[in-house]
Structure 1
């Protein structure tokens, strides 16, 4: 029997190889815009059921793989999934996002948090990732993902999504010692979780610091960046060769600081020109993303032009084609298909 030793195309980009086209996948490529997903959602109305029952999560993770053959297949999960393992109970409400039963507002609550034991509290993750690797083989890279300490702390303190972040900013600016303790515990737990995902089959891991873009640069350097670094440094000690991606929503003003996180790849959103982002990040940092998810509501010609523009500006080394954030719920499925078809037919010149 011949054993294939082909390296997944996306991993070749993370190694800095010169490629004739960038690898392509999409954040939230499994989800509400897909008819197949909506049909499964009707059968399993609870998000936690969809993401924590292995056979359901596997099927959802593979829906875009079967439909579009992206170069990356990402675990279907949520950034708050590990929180119950630390003693922070939560649910995920349809259309509203995570809801934390008892938001963390006191020192006693911080002190009660326990270390994460993912094999005990997250056994379904192992089954999902192992099966995804089996299904995809070496035709695509399997991605894991986690939330970053600041963003998970924001959910834990706010108790739900927020527009003002007044509770966690109030804690940051009036009781920073307690918040730093919470961030430290979360960082250590997330590092354990990243290592667990890699051990279970994830070949790349993306960390979402979705809410860190709500911080001023000086507060980002105090409450977000050191804990991103803490996670990545711990992971590097045991898994030095696994590529790590960092995403911060609304990050145009923070790119240079994101480059200091220890991530190999920085996700660039659409509020910054890709050519400018390349200059600001420096030659050692690889890039992902940049396209406005709203582009997928445009004509095919418009979608094609924007793909070409981003790819031309990013160059033929160290670029993963993606949106600057997730696919929007009402995106036409045929436009997603066209995005992938166009991306895979590209030829990039140096």
Structure 2
């Protein structure tokens, strides 16, 4: 085996709907600006992209939250916009403004010329995956990720973040043929990108459909869900160590379409805080073909006092309901997470309170 044996497989077993001794927990953006050690490393790197494109820095910040908290998974430190950057759109990060593209996709000529990028342009990501996997030394699994085809398209057309998605939705409604062309290229690029992460050592992969929830009903199915399907259908099923690789899909604001998402070729569905976990379990988490569920506490709970955090953790665990405990079969399982990424202003000690509460309370629910 190219990597050390895994010492804590609780997260992976939950992804496969297998019984676990407790509910595993990790946090979206767990390696990030709320940690002073991250801020110090970024200062040394000089910029966000200097951090993300340097294998040693990316490894260092990926492992920083694991030094503080007994989390059950690590997630690659990178950005969802690396793929369109490799397509030549000219990614930069402006202080206080977030990501920006120098060459957005807004006309027929630009979209017609778009191609799946040479994955060698993203070699720094794959080298980071392998480096992080080695540095973890089997402590916990490593999650790789990408933005969804639709979410990437939002940034690629708008040229930056947006409050109203006017440009990308205008293109969608006025020239659906161009939008389908853009999304098809994105889907094939995302699939190649995630497969390369799997080859490099990722033990699970996650698709962030961060802006799927801004679409109208019907448009979501045609312009987001269909292309997430296209990505998933191309993903290889075994990792670098020969073990199966679970697939996670998270659509922020996607609770309305959970029944549509039940048919996705993934093992885990991530949920934001707007849907009750018990209802989600009833819709998509039970029976053959059911999904493991991931989520879904409001990140702003982490600004409350530790005793309130513990109470809100209890609500989430109780909403999911009785955990699956039979080791001889599969059943409904839950991976605890936030309903979106952690805020940069979160007190680190409050994260410790959350992780401890999840582990302790979920063990108690299982009588352990």
- In which range does the TM-score fall when normalised by the shorter chain? over 0.9
1:320-331 aligned within 5 A? 320-331=335-346
> What is the aligned partner in structure 2 of residue 339 from structure 1?
354
Structure 1 residues 103, 4: closer, same or farther in 2, change over 3 A? closer
> What is the aligned partner in structure 1 of residue 275 from structure 2?
272
> What is the aligned partner in structure 2 of residue 72 from structure 1?
73
> What is the aligned partner in structure 2 of residue 93 from structure 1?
94
For residues 150 and 5 of structure 1, the distance between their equivalents in structure 2, rounded to whole angstroms, comes to 34
**Deviation string, structure 1 residues 44-81 (Cα, Å, up to 9, x no partner):** 33111111111111111111011113111011111001
> What is the aligned partner in structure 1 of residue 172 from structure 2?
172
Structure 1 residues 276, 169: closer, same or farther in 2, change over 3 A? same
> What is the aligned partner in structure 2 of residue 305 from structure 1?
311
Give the deviation of 1:41 after TM superposition: 2.3
1:5-24 aligned within 5 A? 6=7, 8-24=9-25
**Deviation string, structure 1 residues 205-250 (Cα, Å, up to 9, x no partner):** 1111111100012100110011000000011577793111111112
1:233-272 aligned within 5 A? 233-236=233-236, 241-272=244-275
For residues 55 and 7 of structure 2, the distance between their equivalents in structure 1, rounded to whole angstroms, comes to 27
**Deviation string, structure 1 residues 73-112 (Cα, Å, up to 9, x no partner):** 0111110012132232211224322201111111211122
Unaligned runs of 5+ residues in structure 1 are: none
| Residues 238 and 244 in structure 2, CA contact (< 8 A), matched pair in contact too | no
> What is the aligned partner in structure 2 of residue 231 from structure 1?
231
| Residues 144 and 197 in structure 2, CA contact (< 8 A), matched pair in contact too | yes
Structure 1 residues 204, 94: closer, same or farther in 2, change over 3 A? farther
Aligned residues: 347
Moved over 6 A (4+): 237-240
| Residues 20 and 316 in structure 1, CA contact (< 8 A), matched pair in contact too | no
Give the deviation of 1:261 after TM superposition: 2.6
TM-score by length of 1: 0.94
> What is the aligned partner in structure 2 of residue 222 from structure 1?
222
Moved more, 304-313 or 282-291: 304-313
Moved more, 189-198 or 123-132: 123-132
| Residues 74 and 141 in structure 2, CA contact (< 8 A), matched pair in contact too | yes
The CA RMSD measured in Å over matched residues stands at 1.8
SS in 2 for 1:321: strand
Structure 1 residues 131, 69: closer, same or farther in 2, change over 3 A? farther
Moved more, 234-243 or 265-274: 234-243
Unaligned runs of 5+ residues in structure 2 are: 325-332
| Residues 285 and 293 in structure 2, CA contact (< 8 A), matched pair in contact too | no
> What is the aligned partner in structure 2 of residue 316 from structure 1?
323
